[in-house]
């Protein structure tokens, strides 16, 4: 009678001790892997079917990455393996949630440089909440299950193996995973080089992307020399030495005038000249455009810094860095900037933004750009909140107070950065005059109402400039900083524009309006040459008769053929559009496919501009240039 009992206990211990730990380990493994797949497909970076051939390398790479992480945990954690895995699960759950929200707003995953900006997350709380999807609860469903298993098995939730045996398992996993990862990479579309983060994620998965990002951050940010090599210096010198001289049309027509730049939050091109239910969305901007130079083919070129990147483009004519934001990563570098050029000509330079001066690190970066006075929220009377989740000083009050605070004892350069029309475009109450049906209570409907309100404020700004006798002696520049709607919220936009929801139409919509009003110069001209934000500074410099040799952009009033390099390394020209996400070239007029080989060299030459700009910023190339 004793023998069966002993045998039974042995079997029970065999099941409950060694294998329970393994079962629990694979439960965590499976949970993380499913969350990883949820990210890949809920963000639409990868398309269905999940097990389709186009997803093969992503699936293999992702599975390999999870195994690799688990092998390290298994090697070093010993008896605490399961507890450490729970911590790992929590970490990756938080990371995947952050990635999903970031993709929904910025269209790409979060990176190490971007994490430097996460302390600002509470400032955009309204946007973050609006980006959550009910399905995201799926990311948390494994935790009740794992907690139940922990309670049930308690002391048996560990694996008793010597370090030598764990080392053998670890080595076996390495032998399997590293070659598999290498083969997946070389079989993917990445082997010929990549400029788009989403392409990395699509081909190799989010875990590979983060591992690669950490590696390059350490390699480029911490280990790489900050000094330009002779070859890099030659690339920079050759670019500026060989820049095409475009002409001198309109040269100096605004020389000695004040310069007022209004950067409007989320003002996108489709809102211009748009009528909805019989009412113009932007009547004041439309009127101003008819009296000015209006650029209707002007693309935003921001990256991870969004609004701050737009400021950087305008003030330096350099492209923003491809990872993170210049304002956060390189705020103390030297820059050859528009404010510095104007200071040399006796101007007072100021920036006005009714928010925390530490937001986007402006208080540090503005000094590097040569902005002498930064008027932030602490300098304003916060007498009315409109827009941006109830956080923002109304644009009407902002404009009025800004004009009062501008130092007019000398010629001035003032940059006004608005806030009210910040995503998610709520808290406007009765401030809008238009009926947005059938888009009422949608993100697009809220946006149209928000821009209608901002347009009214701009109308009052123009009247105020006239009443203060500034309008006839001020070069007035108004443009949008970046897109209005993330791609994930663009369904109604496609309907409004009556276009098919595809990458080609999405990229064509990534324009922002630019209006340049020059006193004494007959306006009413619409210029449709393809341009980007990097081209604004050389255009202003030409108008004000400023020699600006280090602009990467081109004067839009003199160039005949246009192009714009978007910061996902897509290229738009007057003739074609190259989509970096799928590597295809489309006819700009009708979206028909063109032969990529016919444009390959030209596309690569344009894309090199982004890499050169990145290099110059990272290596602080302007530190030895006299300002």
Q: Render pLDDT for 554-577 as a digit per residue (tens, 0 to 9).
A: 999 999 889 999 999 999 999 999
Model confidence over 509-545: pLDDT tens digits?
999 999 999 999 987 899 999 999 999 999 999 999 9
**pLDDT reported for residue 160:** 66
d(C-alpha 40, C-alpha 20), whole Å = 30
**Spatial CA neighbour of 206 closest among 118, 108, 116:** 108
Residue 52 confidence (pLDDT): 87
pLDDT tens for each residue of 343-379: 999 999 999 999 988 888 898 899 999 999 999 988 9
- Strands 293-295 and 514-517, by their bridges, are antiparallel
- The one-character DSSP state at 553 is S
- At 418 the pLDDT is 97
pLDDT band at 227 (very low <50, low <70, confident <90, very high): confident
Task: Summarize the confidence of residues 157-182 as an average pLDDT.
Answer: 79
DSSP assigned state of 86:
H
Rg (CA), the chain: 28
Q: Measure the CA–CA gap between 20 and 154, rounded to whole angstroms.
A: 10
Strand order in the sheet with 576-579: 563-565, 571-573, 576-579, 584-587, 593-594
Lowest-confidence range among 107-121, 269-283, 592-606?
107-121
Residues 6+ apart with CB under 8 A from 114: 102, 304, 323, 324, 325
pLDDT given at position 6? 43
Min mean pLDDT across 5-19, 234-248, 301-315, 397-411 is at 5-19
- At residue 429, the pLDDT reads 73
**If you average pLDDT over every residue of the chain, what do you get?**
88
pLDDT of residue 359: 84
9 confidence band (pLDDT: 50, 70, 90)? very low
The DSSP element (H or E) to which 451 belongs, if any, is helix 443-467
Q: Are 559 and 529 in contact (CB under 8 A)?
A: yes
pTM, to two decimals: 0.80
Mean pLDDT over residues 92-99, rounded?
93
Q: Which residue has the higher pLDDT, 164 or 40?
A: 40
- Do strands 258-264 and 514-517 pair parallel, antiparallel, or not at all (unpaired)? unpaired
Nearest to 579 by CA among 559, 552, 599: 599
How many percent of the chain have pLDDT more than 70?
Answer: 89
3-state secondary structure of 136: helix
């Amino acid at each position: 009678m004793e023998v069966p009992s002993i045998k039974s206990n042995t079997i029970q211990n065999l099941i409950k001790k060694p294998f329970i730990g393994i079962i629990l380990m694979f439960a965590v493994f499976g949970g993380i892997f499913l969350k990883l797949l949820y990210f890949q497909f809920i963000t639409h970076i990868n398309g269905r079917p999940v097990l389709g051939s186009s997803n093969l390398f992503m699936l293999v790479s992702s599975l390999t990455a999870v195994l690799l992480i688990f092998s390290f945990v298994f090697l070093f954690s010993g008896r605490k393996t399961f507890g450490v895995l729970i911590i790992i699960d929590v970490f990756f759950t938080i990371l995947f949630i952050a990635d999903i929200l970031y993709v929904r707003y910025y269209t790409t995953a979060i990176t190490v440089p971007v994490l430097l900006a996460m302390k600002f997350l509470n400032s955009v709380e309204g946007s973050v909440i609006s980006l959550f999807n009910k399905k995201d609860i799926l990311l948390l469903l494994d935790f009740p299950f794992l907690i139940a298993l922990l309670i049930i098995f308690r002391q048996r939730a560990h694996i008793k193996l010597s370090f030598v045996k764990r080392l053998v398992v670890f080595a076996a996993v390495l032998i399997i995973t590293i070659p598999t990862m290498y083969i997946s990479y070389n079989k993917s579309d990445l082997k010929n080089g990549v400029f788009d983060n989403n392409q990395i994620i699509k081909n190799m998965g989010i875990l590979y992307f983060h591992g690669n990002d950490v590696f390059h951050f350490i390699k480029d940010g911490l280990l790489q020399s900050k000094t330009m090599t002779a070859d890099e210096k030659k690339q920079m010198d050759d670019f500026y030495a060989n820049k095409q001289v475009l002409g001198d049309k309109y040269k100096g027509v605004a020389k000695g005038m004040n310069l007022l730049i209004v950067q409007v939050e989320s003002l996108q091109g489709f809102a211009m000249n748009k009528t909805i239910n019989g009412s113009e969305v932007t009547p004041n901007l439309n009127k101003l455009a008819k009296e000015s130079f209006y650029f209707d083919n002007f693309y935003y070129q921001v990256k991870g810094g969004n609004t701050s990147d737009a400021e950087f483009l305008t003030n330096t004519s350099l492209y923003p860095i491809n990872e993170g934001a210049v304002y956060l990563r390189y705020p103390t570098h030297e820059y050859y900037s528009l404010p510095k050029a104007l200071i040399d000509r006796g101007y007072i330079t100021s920036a006005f933004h009714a928010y925390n001066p530490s937001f986007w690190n402006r208080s540090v970066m503005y000094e590097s750009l040569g902005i002498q006075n930064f008027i932030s929220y602490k300098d304003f009377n916060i007498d009315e909140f409109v827009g941006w989740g109830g956080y923002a000083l109304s644009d009407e009050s902002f404009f009025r107070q800004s004009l009062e605070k501008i130092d007019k004892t000398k010629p001035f350069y003032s940059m006004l950065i608005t806030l009210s029309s910040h995503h998610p475009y709520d808290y406007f109450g009765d401030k809008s005059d238009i009926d947005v049906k059938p888009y009422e209570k949608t993100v697009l409907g809220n946006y149209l109402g928000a821009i209608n309100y901002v347009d009214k404020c701009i109308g009052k700004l123009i009247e105020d400039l006239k009443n203060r006798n500034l309008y006839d002696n001020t070069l007035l520049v108004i443009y949008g900083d970046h897109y209005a709607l993330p791609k994930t919220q663009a369904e109604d936009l496609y309907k409004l524009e009556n276009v098919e929801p595809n990458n080609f139409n999405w990229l064509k919509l990534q324009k922002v309006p630019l209006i340049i009003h020059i006193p004494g110069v007959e306006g009413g001209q619409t210029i449709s040459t393809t341009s980007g934000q990097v081209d604004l500074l050389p255009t202003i410099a030409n108008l004000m008769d400023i020699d600006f040799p280090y602009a990467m952009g081109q004067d839009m009033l003199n160039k005949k053929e246009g192009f714009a390099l978007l910061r996902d390394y897509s290229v738009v020209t007057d003739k074609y559009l190259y989509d970096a996400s799928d590597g295809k070239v489309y006819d700009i007029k009708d979206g028909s496919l063109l032969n990529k080989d016919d444009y390959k060299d030209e596309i690569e030459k344009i894309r090199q501009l982004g890499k050169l700009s990145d290099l110059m910023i990272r290596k602080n190339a302007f530190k030895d240039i006299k300002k």
